[in-house]
């Protein structure tokens, strides 16, 4: 049992006063001792079992980037000692905006605008990062081919660059990550939300794993959520838990006389930990020395280039003829279900800039093998926006819990078309029992616009 030491300052007192004083002191010590003993019993009875860090593809559905359980909740076999420790706040970091950014990390720091969070939950997430140096270094290195593009997309849209850190939480920047709920890719889109944001999913491609398509879809979705709430904290919680669930939590808070905020909503532990995880990552980028991490060199220049090719391509043959590493091409084209690019699905091949000349030279003389099957007319799932939201369609009676995104995914139309057909705004609240017009969806087609 851990001992608890109290250092008391002694005071002189008459001998006849010492006996009752000693009796009172003994009673105080006994009360404190019983309270501490009760605390130990409570921890032994209710502490959560230790949870190891697991990969995203594990069968453990709670597996997330740096744990859902706070480090100070792990089970203990002994009574805890009482410690009073104050952690100083992180030192402020100054970024000179007048100097061009030489690397992506500096560019990210300049765009951090989401209000900071500084509480015990953030300290817990930071502690996990500090203990998991190997995992942190691995995902930082994995982000190198993708981070410049994502940061640039945020900048072009005027979005906070904290959003570029979301794939660290969602997938550890593994574009092939798949969750037990069938979410895939850097941004972890589930099938229905992927279809809603025009991400093709068929036997040849899954654009939830496509870097360009999934990133633009994720930023579209996050923008939609911010327009709904007017608050980035609530938008990020909606990205994790679902907009409908967060809207209900916001309503419950208002019904209870509270102004809705990220830290007073009734949400699952995974959602409650989402913002502290993002803040801990933000703090790591701002001050890597605190975490014993050296940020890898990621130049503030494009990592890859887009090559347009109208015909089918076998990536294995391209890599062999160009005498380059196949993996360097595959990790940029993870939306392909096999190492073959079918022109009917996409005509864009991503290649590292340092291989651009070799690949272009190879493509000038390349002829696709005849045995490559044509995918035309064999799509199983497509996501195309209706050309005319007012043409045809049907009426639908709103049920409790329905949201625009969920209805759009169910009827395979876009949120924008739902808004236009019903003259709604993104902040409109769907009232159960009311009728909404569902525009007709266009028949599936193999054609698709390219970015």
Residues 307/329, Cβ–Cβ less than 8 Å: no
The pLDDT, as a whole number, for residue 97 is: 52
How many CB atoms neighbour CB 437 within 10 A? 16
- How far, CA to CA in Å, does 335 sit from each of 239, 331, 340? 22, 9, 10
Q: Do residues 186 and 204 make contact, with C-beta atoms less than 8 angstroms apart?
A: no
pTM over 0.85: no
Q: Which helix (H) or strand (E) holds 430?
A: none
* 247-265 pLDDT, tens digit each: 999 999 999 999 999 999 9
Nearest to 206 by CA among 180, 181, 234, 186: 186
pLDDT digits (tens, 9 = 90+) for 59-70: 333 334 554 332
Q: Which of 170, 184, 207, 243 is catalytic?
A: 170
- Closest CA relative to residue 402, chosen from 374, 422, 386: 422
With 0-12 / 13-18 / 19 or more C-beta atoms within 10 angstroms meaning exposed / middle / buried, residue 259 is: exposed
Quote the CA–CA distance of 275 and 273 in Å, as a whole number: 6
Residue 143: phi and psi, rounded to 5, are: -75, -15
Secondary structure letter of residue 161 according to DSSP: G
Alpha carbon distance 75, 64 (integer Å): 20
- Please report the pLDDT score of residue 417 as a whole number: 86
The list of the chain residues with pLDDT below 50 reads: 1-64, 67-89, 376-391, 442-451
Look up residue 167 and give its two tokens: 């794939």
pLDDT of residue 112: 98
Rounded distance between C-alpha atoms, residue 422 and residue 436, angstroms: 7
Inter-residue contact 208 to 176 (CB < 8 Å): no
The dihedral through the CA atoms of 153, 158, 161, 165 has a sign that is negative
DSSP string, 61-123: TT--TT-SS-GGGB--SSPPPP----PPPPPP----TTSPPSBHHHHHHHT--SPP--SHHHH
Q: Counting beta carbons within 10 angstroms of the beta carbon of residue 171, is it exposed (0 to 12), middle (13 to 18) or buried (19 or more)?
A: buried
How many Cβ atoms from other residues are within 10 Å of residue 344's Cβ? 16
Residues 6+ apart with CB under 8 A from 109: 93, 95, 161, 285, 286
Run of H or E including 51: none
Compute, in degrees rounded to 10, the torsion defined by CA atoms 350, 352, 353, 359: -70
Per-residue confidence (pLDDT) for residue 13, from 0 to 100: 40
Count the neighbouring beta carbons within 10 Å of the beta carbon of residue 403: 21
Q: Respond yes or no: is residue 259 known to be catalytic.
A: no
Give yes or no for a contact between 398 and 431, defined as CB atoms under 8 angstroms apart.
Answer: yes
- Write down the pLDDT at residue 397: 80
Burial 303-335 (b: 16+ CB within 10 A, else e): bbbeeebeebbbbebbbebbebeeeebbbbbbb
Provide the pLDDT for residue 249: 96
Residues 104 and 152: their CA atoms lie apart, in Å, by 9
Predicted local distance difference test score (pLDDT) of residue 99: 53
Is residue 270 within 8 A of residue 240, CB to CB? The reply is yes
Give residue 96's pLDDT: 52
Give pLDDT, residue 58: 34
Report the alpha-carbon distance of residue 117 to residue 130 in Å, rounded.
18
């Amino acid at each position: 049992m851990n001992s608890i030491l109290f250092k008391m300052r002694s005071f002189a007192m008459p001998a006849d006063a010492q006996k009752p004083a000693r009796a009172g002191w003994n009673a105080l010590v006994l009360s404190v001792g019983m309270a501490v003993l009760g605390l130990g019993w409570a921890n032994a009875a209710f502490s959560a079992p230790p949870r190891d860090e697991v990969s995203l593809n594990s069968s453990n559905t709670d597996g997330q980037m740096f744990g859902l359980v706070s480090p100070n909740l792990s089970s203990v076999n002994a009574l805890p000692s009482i410690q009073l420790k104050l952690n100083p706040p992180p030192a402020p970091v100054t970024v000179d905006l007048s100097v061009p950014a030489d690397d992506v990390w500096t560019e990210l720091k300049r765009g951090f605008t989401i209000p900071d969070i500084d509480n015990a939950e953030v300290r817990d997430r930071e502690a996990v990062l500090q203990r998991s140096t190997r995992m942190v270094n691995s995902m930082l290195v994995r982000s190198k081919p993708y981070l410049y593009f994502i940061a640039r997309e945020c900048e072009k849209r005027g979005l906070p660059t904290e959003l570029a850190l979301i794939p660290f939480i969602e997938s550890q920047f593994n574009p092939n990550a798949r969750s037990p709920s069938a979410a895939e890719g850097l941004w972890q889109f589930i099938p229905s939300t992927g279809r809603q944001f025009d991400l093709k999913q068929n036997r040849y491609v899954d654009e939830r794993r496509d870097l360009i398509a999934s990133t633009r879809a994720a930023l579209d979705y996050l923008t939609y959520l911010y327009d709904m709430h007017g608050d980035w904290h609530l938008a990020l919680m909606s990205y994790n838990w679902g907009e409908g669930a967060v809207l209900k939590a916001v309503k419950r808070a208002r019904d209870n006389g509270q102004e809705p905020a990220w830290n007073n909503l009734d949400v699952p532990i995974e959602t409650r930990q989402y913002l502290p995880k993002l803040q801990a990552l933000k703090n790591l980028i701002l001050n890597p020395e605190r975490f014993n991490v050296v940020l890898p060199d990621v130049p503030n220049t494009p990592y890859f280039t887009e090559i347009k090719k109208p015909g089918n391509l076998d990536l294995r043959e391209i890599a062999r003829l160009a005498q380059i590493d196949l993996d360097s091409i595959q990790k940029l084209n993870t939306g392909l279900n096999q190492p073959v690019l079918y022109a009917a699905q996409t005509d864009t091949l991503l290649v590292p800039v340092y291989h651009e000349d070799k690949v272009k030279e190879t493509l000038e003389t390349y002829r696709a093998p005849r045995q490559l099957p044509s995918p035309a007319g064999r799509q199983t799932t497509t996501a195309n926006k209706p050309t005319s939201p007012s043409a045809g369609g049907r009426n639908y009676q709103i049920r409790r819990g329905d949201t625009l995104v969920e209805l759009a995914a169910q009827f395979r139309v876009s949120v924008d078309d739902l808004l236009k057909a019903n003259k709604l705004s993104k902040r409109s609240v769907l009232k159960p029992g009311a009728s909404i017009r569902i525009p007709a969806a266009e028949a599936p087609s193999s054609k698709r616009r390219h970015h």
